[in-house]
Chain A
Amino acid sequence: MDLGREPPESTPGEHSALAAQPSSPSPAEEWARKPRSIPALFESQSEILDLISSRAPLQETLGRTASLAEEVLSAAYCCVLVLDGGAERFVETAAPTLPAPILEVVRGGQVADKTSAEAICAASGTTLYLPDLADDSGELPSDFTKQLFSCGIKAVWAYPLLEPAGMPVGVLSLYFGTKQGADPQTDSVLRSLARLARFAVEHHRSDEALQSADQRFGALAASIPGVVYQRKVSPDGEIRYTYISDGAKDLFGVSPEEIVSDPNALFDCHSPEYRETFRERLLEASRDLTMWDVEATIDTKDGQRKYTHAIARPHRMPDGTVYWDGVILDSTRIKEAELRAASIEARTREEILESVSQGLALYDENDSLVVCNSHFLELSPGLGDVIRPGVSYERVARAIIENSLPGRGDAADADELLRQQMELHRAGGHSSERRLPNGRWVLVTEHRTDHGGTAIVLTDVTELKKREATLERSNQELQQFASVASHDLQEPLRKIEAFGNRLHSLCAEKIGDEATLYLDRMLSSTRRMRKLINDLLAYSRVTTKSRPFEPCDFKLVATEVVSDLQIQIEESDGLVQIGELPVIDADAMQIRQLLQNLISNALKFRRPDAPPEVRVSGRLVTAADRIGETMPPPGDVLELSVSDNGIGFDMKYVDRIFNIFQRLHNRSEYDGTGIGLATCRKIVERHGGELRAVSEPGHGTTITAVLPVKQIFSEA
């Protein structure tokens, strides 16, 4: 910029383009003649400043500037041009009076082409003075000069509008109808107007930039699902929103303006509890300058429930005021999805819990009740007030014990019972039956869960108990009936037999052979009935007259049985061999009966052509050897076998031979009641074992009793 170049001396013009104003004095001289113009100039300048500050359109401001210049320099056209951002061409022109042909040239073309005085000025960034175009015609393109001449222009001045960094933002130019040398006063006035113009342009540009930044920010804020805000917490505790984006309308149903003017408009959307604590929390965070991260529930005026998540960062001003810049996000959809998922989970859990017929309760690893179903409550009568989520296991256990003690009596008893219960509980699991105050029976099963909690299952076993009791009673009655019936049946039978004997011995000769035969048959029937009754008694006594299981020497028992059966063995010319037999847990009396029945059967069902040979043998089989065997009993067993060389039987009857009263032979062939093997089976089953038979007609039979070596259960 050539600031050192002085404007040429003003010379009187020869002709003027402004024919109506053929004046030759310099503008300054004009001012001098019109002294009141100076205050008018200042007034006008302040008018332009007003236009600028009131953000009047740039065109208007610049037009007014140009008019002012023309006003001051009465015999001139003024033109204000604004360059584009790259200073390549003019984008704005304010030339209220400039003749159109000149305006056309000035406005068009690139700065770099230097087709006009303004272009030259903008390109150089320096003031251009052409006081006499006739002399200075070389300075301008000849086309432009020609155009100027045709319009009667004799002189041209052009001031670049330079921003502080020296970049031209526009040009203020003047066209004179007379030759016009620059005088310092005029120059100073014009420079001041050029500064005004530049200020207007810069102000306009920064306004535009601000506006576009605002727009970008607004667009950004609008794209957030929620609002952006700034709030201010004054040292005296006053809370105000200095800014809140338009989203407030959508989120809260309240306009940003309402919130900015009164923050209660925003607070009122929140629940009373939130409002109560909000202020305190905000003041505390403002004091500590901690991040604001708060979730809230709001109920909008139109009745919608929404969930928000606010995040804001504080910064403190020197005066102690704290500004919070933040966002409030609409988390309704996320929250609702969470709530839906939680409710589905809760419902699913509820449905599962309620779909089982048992009472279920779950305590966590701290013995605090997590959940229980309604059956659990039903099976815990009187405990509805105690059983609540979070209640301790011990508290519930105590309540159950206190409820179960008659008359809520002895506290020491309750303490002791509770102590025992807690011991069982700590041991990790147990199962017991409990009688409820309402008379029902509940099976309580408790076990430790994988996570160290406790699961409790209550099963109503009242009906089961009733059936059990009924069954037991009916069983007892049956046993009693069998036993009593057998006893009482024996009495008259004994008499029939005794008197029959008397008749036989005293009167046989008197009544004759035929009557004696009848009498014999009668007595034979009596004997048979006695046998039936005795066998039935023996059968029923397997359960009624059982003894505890103790180590029993099978060899000894077998030997004694053989000794008892000596007569039968001798009569049949038979042979009974006893192999090695062990000592295992059993009821010796019953084993004796078992062996007696089996050996006696083996002797009885002999082949007519061969004397009976019976072998009693035992084989211990360990559990390991029995892998894959599905038949009971489990564990180590004794296979006690009685084999014979008798008549045998068809295996198709194998399932029937152990049934009571089941016989395969006519009584005239082989006498019997059909109770013996049934008794054997009952004895073996009472021992938790199993009776098996293998046979082949004509080749003998092997009956095997599979008996557990160890009796786990004390009594069947």
Chain B
Amino acid sequence: MKRQSKPVTILVAEDDADDRLLLQDAFKESSLNNELRFVENGEQLLDYLRRKGEYANPGEAPVAGLILLDLNMPKIDGREALNIIKNDAVLRSIPVVVLTTSAEEDDVFFAYRLGVSSYISKPVTFEGLVNVVKVIDAYWNDTVELPPQNTDGA
């Protein structure tokens, strides 16, 4: 087991404010000190990752070490965003965990085919959500060597 010196920034793409709040609570409850950043749709997600638009200013968008992605979002939805990310030479290396209410097989297959790291259904209870966060922590923070954080792709 190894503990990374500095916890990665986790980028959460979630259009639902309640879910964002609950996720924040769950991270707090789990005593994780990863920085959480939120975007509300696929468009914002891509802008964030590419540092465009409102994320153009330096320091506005700390490099994301993990993306928690909801599939059902306005504008560019999670599926489309996932497709773009996984077909982008630079962005594809960022691990993506799909966290969604959709348990549609099509979505699951689609996500795995595109190379998501994990596919997790949103738990219905808060405790469940806390557990998910703990699993993420245990897996991504403790056991997995994340790619080096080279934000410029250099």
Contacts and interface: CB of A to CB of B under 8 A. Distances in A.
A501 B105 CA distance: 29
Contacts of B25: 502
Contact of B101 (A487, A499, A505): A487
Interface in B2-41: 16, 18-19, 22, 25
Contact of B124 (A494, A502, A545): A494
A685 interface: no
B101 A501 contact: no
A441 B57 CA distance: 65
Interface in A428-464: none
A530 B22 CA distance: 19
A530 B25 CA distance: 23
Interface stretch (B89-97, B108-116, B125-133, B145-153): B125-133
A538 to B, nearest CB: 12
B17 to A, nearest CB: 10
Contacts, number: 33
B101 A497 contact: no
Interface in A468-497: 487, 490-491, 493-495, 497
A497 B105 CA distance: 25
A505 B126 contact: yes
A486 to B, nearest CB: 11
B134 interface: no
B125 A497 contact: yes
Given A491-B101, A494-B101, A501 B18 contact: no
Contacts of B122: 494
A490 B101 contact: yes
Contacts of B18: 495, 498-499
Contacts of A497: 124-126
A495 B19 CA distance: 8
A498 B125 contact: yes
Interface residues of A, number: 14
A533 to B, nearest CB: 11
Nearest to A493: B124
A169 B77 CA distance: 142
A498 B101 contact: no
A502 B126 contact: yes
Nearest to A488: B101
A502 B22 CA distance: 9
Nearest to B26: A498
Contacts of A530: 124
A497 B123 CA distance: 10
Nearest to B102: A487
Contacts of A499: 18, 22, 126
A529 B124 CA distance: 12
Interface string A496-524: 01110110010000000000000000000
Contacts of B16: 491
A680 B22 CA distance: 37
A505 B128 CA distance: 13
B103 to A, nearest CB: 9
A499 B126 CA distance: 7
A387 to B, nearest CB: 51
Contacts of B19: 495
Nearest to B126: A501
Contacts of A495: 18-19, 22
Nearest to B19: A495
A498 B127 CA distance: 8
Interface of A: 487, 490-491, 493-495, 497-499, 501-502, 505, 530, 545
Interface of B: 16, 18-19, 22, 25, 101-102, 105, 122, 124-127, 129
Given A491-B101, A497-B124, A501-B127, 6 more contacts: A487-B101, A487-B102, A493-B124, A494-B101, A502-B22, A505-B126
10 contacts: A491-B16, A491-B101, A494-B122, A494-B124, A495-B19, A495-B22, A497-B125, A498-B18, A501-B127, A530-B124
What are the 4 tightest A-B residue pairs by CB atom distance, in nearest-first order?
A: A501-B126, A498-B126, A495-B18, A494-B124
